[in-house]
Amino acid sequence: VAGLMHGLVLKALGQNVLVLESRQPSELKAQAAGLSLGPHAYELMKTLVGGNDVYGLHNPASQILDKGSNVVVELPISTAVMTSSWSVVFDRLKSKFEMDEELKGSGIYETGKRVIGTDDTGTSVSVHYREGDSGSEKTVTAKLVVAADGCRSSIRQQFVPEVQTKYAGYLAWRGCVAETETPEALKGAFEGKLVMHMPGGSYILA
């Protein structure tokens, strides 16, 4: 979503923006249960996407539980954090980016286009990409290129090859339960709270 966020800001500033996404629409699915919007992301959603609380829940407090699920401490969160989901944020950003004609620039979002390299010509940047279906290689020219291709960014590798990803020693499992299937006893229990359970050697964030 960082690419779409940059695209939307640039479009609002009057630029004509093209987003090249390597995945196909069927592969663009939520890969995580929840997505927390920090102050800057929240401000961007509020200013450029509109609405207020419809795309997420405010979390004014954080609760830490011990091994026996007892509340050890409940702390107010100093910065505004809003809990939403990847698909809600992605869908809203994408429709605003593609559809909003009131913004000054234009926004085109193309899927199945894998960027394979860039060349700085001095006055512009050539972006080379591969088409998903045909595998044919194409080039598009831009004044500015933003690489938002994730933590294993191949574009970053082109510029700073010495920066390598390193296994941090832990594994994250993510999951979600449909609201309709949530047991009665749990309903509302997490509302307004980021709950952290620390059973030792691992931690659960709900």
Ligand X SMILES: Cc1cc2nc3c(=O)[nH]c(=O)nc-3n(C[C@H](O)[C@H](O)[C@H](O)COP(=O)(O)OP(=O)(O)OC[C@H]3O[C@@H](n4cnc5c(N)ncnc54)[C@H](O)[C@@H]3O)c2cc1C
Residues of the shown chain interacting with ligand X in the complex, contacts defined by CB under 6 A: 1-3, 20-23, 32, 35-36, 38, 41, 114-115, 148-150, 154, 172
> Which residue, 67 or 173, is less far from ligand X as judged by CB?
173
User: What's the min distance (Å) between Cβ of 83 and ligand X?
Assistant: 8
**CA-to-CA distance for 129 and 142, rounded, in angstroms?**
13
Helix (H, G, I), strand (E, B) or coil at 79: coil
Residue nearest to ligand X (CB): 150
DSSP state of 158: H
User: What's the min distance (Å) between Cβ of 175 and ligand X?
Assistant: 12
> Which residue, 66 or 137, is less far from ligand X as judged by CB?
137
Q: Which helix (H) or strand (E) covers residue 2, if one does?
A: helix 2-12
- Whether 129 and 118 have beta carbons less than 8 Å apart is answered as no
> Which residue, 8 or 115, is less far from ligand X as judged by CB?
115
- Residue indicated by tokens 């229990």: 189
User: What's the min distance (Å) between Cβ of 70 and ligand X?
Assistant: 26
User: What's the min distance (Å) between Cβ of 77 and ligand X?
Assistant: 13
Q: Which helix (H) or strand (E) covers residue 127, if one does?
A: strand 125-131
